[in-house]
Amino acid sequence: MYQPVNTQAANLVNYLLHLGDNALILSQRNSEWCGHGPVLEQDIAITNISLDLIGQARSFYQYAASLEGGDATEDSLAYLRGERTYLNCLMNELPNGDWGQTIMRQFFFSVYQQLLYNALLQSRDETVAAIAEKSLKEVTYHVRWSSEWVIRLGDGTDESHARMEKALNMLWSYTGEFFMPAGYETAAVAEGIGADVAALQQRWMEQVAAVLQEATLPVPVAGKTWMQSGGKEGKHSEHLGFLLAEMQYLQRAYPGATW
Amino acid sequence: MSVQELEKIFQGKVDQEIKIEPKDWMPDAYRKTLVRQISQHAHSEIVGMLPEGNWISRAPSLKRKAILLAKVQDEAGHGLYLYSAVETLGTPRNQTIEDLHSGKAKYSSIFNYPTLTWADIGAIGWLVDGAAILNQVMLCRTSYGPYARAMVRICKEESFHQRQGFEILLVLSKGTPEQKAMCQDAINRWWWPSLMMFGPKDGESTHSDQSMTWKIKRKSNDELRQQFVDMIVEQAKILNVTLPDPALQWNAAKGHYDFGEIDWVEFWNVVKGNGPCNKERLEARRKAWDEGAWVRDAAAAFAEKRAARQAQQVA
């Protein structure tokens, strides 16, 4: 677990890093589509989402860096932490797969993020509440865009239906982690700063089920699938190391340089 | 009305600086020239996303990453405006894109060079976008209305692109010895290809004279190239870098900088498909298009289903 200099702030810093890492890692994945999307308008849309997420990550990291003090900056937090101290959910670091898998992941995550940020509006920490409020406008669009695409592709052609079903089956076991609180989340809830993620699961399931039904896709039965976890605690898939190696390359190769 | 009379009215409008609009009569050759030029421009925007996109995942700070993402996204937007401008001339977007993939349509050769280091992102912004802007500022006054209007929007964004490129290099030029070397190396590699962006010499440019009469173009290749050199030499002083041309020097009599001869053998080879990345770039575009076919098909199928359902509800 990441140990900030100011140990009193450890839980909050970890909580902020978790929120920032979720946004940054998904942004990094989505940005791989830039220039390679299936149609120009959607290339622009996925890049937009990537931009929104990187903006959110920066807000959380800047706040975390200010709490940590010393030399910490948004960039030292993003570029100089290794794979065991990244606290994002596993789903966000998975390779993009095809467009269907990218869309399905964005949909699952955006619905979760919308519920989460809505809850964070009540945070006792004004900065957290303000970041949530600003980000909610963006996330509301991400939910709409990804829901529309899940429906369009689920109810499109036989091929697109089959691809979406495959994406659904592939990603479902990573959705459980959203709702299993890590220690720093439980602590943040106790302090009135964080959101109780377990309490979001029911509404997430209802919203997701409604869209999957409209998309003519099967709705997984809750509690039937073994759920993967560990990302929030820094135990990741094999994919994250490569993602970070690429992302952090310049900062690691030229220590201390300004860009 | 005879074709001669129509042509006279058309040229009269051009001469009086009245914009030609999609529904106006225009000579076939004017239409063809525009389709060729605007689609080539659109493809350049789209293919141009690839060399810069190559560094999005490795951008050295979150701010740089966000700026680069936004910039490459702008290029996609420019491609969209330009494909739409081609559509006003009667050629649908899919056709235009297929012409790129079949090799029938060209795009700017500059994008067939690789981006080897982070400094290349700066050099592209400064030199490549800098060269493109000179051409595009001229095109804001081009005779075809939709093209001119697309250019006005594009120019606003391009000047931001050039500034961000210059700023990347400025930071590197003040950085560590490795960063300074990286900056100079990128400029050495991108300088000559940037000069090539203005095309063949005036005497050897096939389409130039007619395009000037039609006011599609308003400045010759060599005029624009000279303007570029004069502008960049001054900016290079701020960066404290050298430009890789021993013949480069101020000519007081002309009021311009003299510069050396472009390697025209290289120029024509890259145009013909032998540049370092021609095959990769086209392959990347084809792959994106082919792998996206099921998405486009599904979207079309869904739109039909939805329309049918709505029609049923109305009935």
Q: What is the mean pLDDT of each run of 10 residues along chain A (259 residues)?
A: 57 97 98 97 98 98 96 97 97 98 98 98 98 98 98 98 98 98 96 97 98 98 92 97 98 97
**Min Cα–Cα distance to chain A from B263, Å:** 30
Q: What is the pLDDT of residue A3?
A: 54
C-beta of residue B242 within 8 angstroms of C-beta of residue B236? yes
| CATH number for position A247 | 1.20.1260.10
- A62: nearest CA in chain B? B62
Which of chain A's residues have a Cβ under 8 Å away from the Cβ of B58? 246-247, 249-250
Is A102 domain-assigned?
yes
Domain that holds residue A147: 7-253
Total domains, chain A: 1
Is A2 domain-assigned?
no
Is A1 domain-assigned?
no
- For chain B, residues with pLDDT lower than 50 are none
Q: Which residues pair with B257 in a beta bridge?
A: B250
Q: What is the pLDDT of residue B205?
A: 76
Is A259 domain-assigned?
no
Interface residue of A28, A42, A56, A250 to substitute, partner B, most B CBs within 10 Å:
A250
Interface residue of B46, B56, B65 to substitute, partner A, most A CBs within 10 Å:
B65
Model ipTM over 0.90: yes
B262-271: Cβ within 8 A, 24+ apart: B262/B192, B262/B195, B262/B196, B263/B192, B264/B200, B266/B192, B266/B196, B267/B109, B267/B196, B267/B200, B270/B109, B270/B112, B270/B193, B270/B196, B271/B106, B271/B109
Q: What is the pLDDT of residue B69?
A: 97
Is A236 domain-assigned?
yes
Size of interface A-B (CB pairs under 8 A): 141
Asked whether the beta carbons of residue B57 and residue A159 sit closer than 8 angstroms, the reply is no
Asked whether the beta carbons of residue A54 and residue B175 sit closer than 8 angstroms, the reply is no
Q: What is the pLDDT of residue A4?
A: 52
- List CB contacts of A160: < 8 A, sequence separation 6 or more: A100, A152, A153, A154, B294, B295, B297, B298, B301
Asked whether the beta carbons of residue B175 and residue A258 sit closer than 8 angstroms, the reply is yes
